Amino acid sequence: MAVRDKAPQGLSKAVPALEPVPVPGCSVCESAHADRDPARAEGRILTALSCNGVIAGHPHQMEGAK
């Protein structure tokens, strides 16, 4: 158990496991998620990261907050 809170090296083709999860029913999330998977599969990591930023970076209205 010598794992540190740092991504292991050698995963240059993989997006880190910190990916934001798209919110079901959110068109912005779904659009970014639809772009992210093929981008990652094709090695377009910057595009995949950009999609992560989109998913993580826009607000969601909390259902059930009323």
Of positions 15, 23, 45, 49, contacts Zn ion by CB under 5 A: 23
Closer Cβ to Zn ion, 15 or 26, answer by number: 26
Cα atoms in the 13 Å half-sphere on the side-chain side of 20: 21
Closer Cβ to Zn ion, 15 or 56, answer by number: 56
What is the distance between the alpha carbons of residues 66 and 5, in angstroms, rounded to a whole number? 37
Which among 1-9, 10-18, 26-34, 43-51 is the span making contact with Zn ion, rule CB under 5 A? 26-34
Binders in 46-65 for Zn ion, by CB under 5 A: none
64: CB partners within 8 A, 6+ apart:
none
